[in-house]
Amino acid sequence: MRQTWRMERVVDIATDGLYLAVHRGFLTISDSGEEKGRVALDDIGALIVHAHGTTWSNTVFTRLAERNVPVVLCGSNHAPVSCVWPLQGHHAQGARMRAQLEASRPLKKRLWQVVIVAKIRMQGYVLTANGAEGGGFDLLARKVRSGDPDNLEAQAARRYWKTLFGKEFQRDTDADGANALLNYGYTVLRATLSRAICAAGLHPTPGIFHSNRANAFALADDLMEPYRPLVDQIVLNLMKQGAQTVTPEAKRALTSLTTFDLETPVGLSPLSVQVQRFVHSLALSFETRQAALELPGMPPPLALLGLGAPAP
């Protein structure tokens, strides 16, 4: 069967007191009875809600669920606190979930190795593109063993954060400034991965590495790792422009990540499409019991440095 891919939009609800409904195939957004905008349901990849007092009809949830679209509810720190997940997805969902649940520990350790190698290499690439020393990250990536028993991911992270954002920076999900911007960017990324996971017939909870019993989206957290440095680049660009809070302009910059072109075996594809191919390759890896992931390629340095910039 031929696999098809499509671009999708991330819809963010940030204004208080809005009402969401569905009308003739569109998600409508209204304020005090006056329609403020609408988006075709088939164009939505994820719905993210931050605002207080948002109300909606039950049809919003059912129509989005029919399209495998996650609805992400966020806290005041812009990190997700809940996600409404569809019950049905891919036509082969049952078989793929069984393969996912039955995946052997050696296979999952090998998959995690491939993911972490890609993440560390992307971190080094981002540092180098910004004129910092990133060459050592490729050497570090080559040392990652199956399952990353030496926790080279953490070693790379300690060097990476201080080099990218300065020696005083500490990653803290409850902090403001760059941390709040990172929270929002990762929320967009998590929603994008969650949508692709559901569409591929996999379940978001059983991860290949993360196994916190309280984490219902461990697989999404696993798979977003190679893409995190792209969010970091947008946040760095925003900070250079003086951004300190998650403004509407900052949100537009961070959600633009889904349309950023990445190299794939069939040419350039927007991230939202490449993510679908990546998750599909994971589903096939579970079924074949062979770790063969279609990872994101490195974008051209100039394109990377312009990530999140408004269109001319």
What is the rounded distance in angstroms from the CA atom of residue 296 to the CA atom of residue 233?
16
What is the rounded distance in angstroms from the CA atom of residue 26 to the CA atom of residue 38?
6
The answer on pLDDT for 7 being more than 70 is: no
pLDDT at 138: 95
The answer on pLDDT for 113 being more than 90 is: yes
* Predicted confidence (pLDDT) per residue in 164-219, tens digit: 999 999 999 999 999 999 999 999 999 888 888 877 888 888 999 977 655 778 99
What is the rounded distance in angstroms from the CA atom of residue 41 to the CA atom of residue 71?
13
The answer on pLDDT for 12 being more than 70 is: yes
pLDDT at 109: 97
What is the rounded distance in angstroms from the CA atom of residue 245 to the CA atom of residue 50?
14
Q: What is the mean pLDDT of residues 48-68?
A: 87
The answer on pLDDT for 307 being more than 70 is: yes
The percent of residues in the chain predicted with pLDDT above 90, rounded, is 61
pLDDT at 8: 66
Query: Could you tell me which residue, 63 or 195, shows the higher pLDDT?
Result: 63
Please give the model's pTM, rounded to 2 decimal places. Answer: 0.82
The answer on pLDDT for 304 being more than 50 is: yes
Query: CB of 78 within 8 A of CB of 231?
Result: no
What is the rounded distance in angstroms from the CA atom of residue 99 to the CA atom of residue 150?
28
> 9: buried, middle or exposed (CB in 10 Å: 19+, 13-18, 0-12)?
middle
pLDDT band at 274 (very low <50, low <70, confident <90, very high): very high
Beta-carbon contacts of residue 86 (< 8 Å; ≥ 6 apart): 64, 65, 66, 68, 69, 70, 198
Place of tokens 């409904």: 21
The answer on pLDDT for 5 being more than 90 is: no
pLDDT at 214: 59
Query: CB of 48 within 8 A of CB of 15?
Result: no
- State the chain's mean pLDDT as an integer: 89
In angstroms, the Cα distances linking 239 to 79, 102, 153, 202, 275 are: 19, 44, 25, 36, 26
Nearest residue to 97 (alpha-carbon basis) of 283, 303, 221:
283
* Predicted confidence (pLDDT) per residue in 222-265, tens digit: 999 999 999 999 999 999 999 999 999 999 999 999 999 998 88
What is the rounded distance in angstroms from the CA atom of residue 119 to the CA atom of residue 231?
12
Query: Could you tell me which residue, 70 or 261, shows the higher pLDDT?
Result: 261
pLDDT at 124: 97
Place of tokens 């590495």: 209
Q: At what angle do helices 178-199 and 271-288 cross, to 10 degrees?
A: 50
The answer on pLDDT for 148 being more than 50 is: yes
Q: Give the strand order in the sheet containing 9-13.
A: 9-13, 44-49, 71-74, 80-84
What is the rounded distance in angstroms from the CA atom of residue 93 to the CA atom of residue 100?
10
The answer on pLDDT for 1 being more than 50 is: no
Q: What is the mean pLDDT of residues 300-305?
A: 92
The answer on pLDDT for 3 being more than 70 is: no
pLDDT at 212: 66
